[in-house]
C-alpha cells in the first residue's frame, strides 16, 4: 500500500491548495460601501473574481449628501507566481447604477455607467486560510447621467454622456480562502 502511495505522490504534476476565496474591501466598508467579492482559481496562474458593492445610505438629509451605488466588477487576474499569492495583474469590467449628490460639488448625478480597467496588486498570506491584499488600478468609464441641483433634486437641468479616466479598484482586502 505504501508503495502505491509513493508512486501516486511522485507521479502527480500539480496540487492546488485553495480553489475559492471570499473577500471584503476594508476601505470600501469605511466609506459606507457594503461589499463582497468571490473568487475562483482557474489554474496556477489565473483566477476569476466577482466583486459587488452597494451603498444605500444618505449621509445628510438636509443637503441630500449621498454616494448611493450598486456596482458589479467581474474580472480575471494573472498571478505572476501562483494564484492567491504575491503580485498579480487584473482586468475587470464595470457596470454601475449610481445616485451621487453633494460630494464634489453642489450637483446630483443620477445615472449608470459601463467601463473596463486594469489593476495591479499584491497578496500577503497571514495564515493558512487568511490573506491580506492591496490593489490599485485605472479604468475608462462611460457615464450616462442626469444632472440636477441638490437642493431641488427633482429639477433636471442637464443630461450628459461622457467617458472618464478614473481611479479603479482602490482596495485593501481581507480574504478568506477555502
Sign of CA dihedral 95, 101, 106, 110: positive
Taking the model in full, what pTM does it have?
0.86
Q: What is the pLDDT of residue 58?
A: 87
pLDDT band at 5 (very low <50, low <70, confident <90, very high): low
**160 found inside a domain:** yes
**1 found inside a domain:** no
pLDDT at position 17 over 60: no
Q: Are 52 and 138 within 8 A, CB to CB?
A: no
pLDDT at position 18 over 50: yes
**47 found inside a domain:** yes
Higher pLDDT, 96 or 58: 96
Reference 51, options 30, 79, 77, 81; nearest CA is 77
For 117-127, the pLDDT digits (tens) are 999 999 999 99
Q: What is the pLDDT of residue 105?
A: 86
CA 168/CA 116 separation, integer angstroms: 9
**37 found inside a domain:** yes
CA 35/CA 62 separation, integer angstroms: 27
Total count of domains within the chain: 1
Query: Quick one: cell of 178?
Result: 477555502
**72 found inside a domain:** yes
In CATH, what number is assigned to the domain containing residue 53? 2.40.160
118 is in which domain, residue-wise?
A: 15-177
Q: Are 124 and 155 within 8 A, CB to CB?
A: no
CA 95/CA 111 separation, integer angstroms: 11
Amino acid at each position: 500500500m505504501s508503495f502505491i502511495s509513493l508512486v501516486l505522490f511522485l507521479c502527480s504534476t500539480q496540487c492546488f491548495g485553495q480553489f475559492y476565496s471570499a473577500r471584503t474591501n476594508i476601505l470600501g466598508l469605511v466609506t459606507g460601501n457594503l461589499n463582497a467579492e468571490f473568487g475562483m482559481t482557474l489554474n496556477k496562474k489565473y483566477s476569476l473574481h466577482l466583486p459587488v458593492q452597494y451603498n444605500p445610505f444618505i449621509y445628510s438629509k438636509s443637503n441630500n449628501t449621498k454616494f448611493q451605488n450598486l456596482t458589479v466588477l467581474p474580472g480575471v487576474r494573472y498571478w505572476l507566481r501562483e494564484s492567491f499569492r504575491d503580485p498579480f495583474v487584473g482586468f475587470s469590467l464595470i457596470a454601475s447604477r449610481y445616485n451621487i449628490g453633494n460630494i464634489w460639488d453642489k450637483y446630483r448625478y443620477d445615472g449608470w455607467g459601463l467601463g473596463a480597467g486594469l489593476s495591479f496588486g499584491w497578496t500577503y498570506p497571514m495564515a493558512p486560510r487568511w490573506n491580506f491584499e492591496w490593489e490599485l488600478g485605472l479604468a475608462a468609464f462611460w457615464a450616462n447621467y442626469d444632472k440636477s441641483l441638490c437642493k431641488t433634486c427633482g429639477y433636471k437641468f442637464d443630461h450628459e454622456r461622457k467617458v472618464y479616466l478614473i481611479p479603479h479598484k482602490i482596495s485593501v482586502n481581507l480574504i478568506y480562502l477555502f
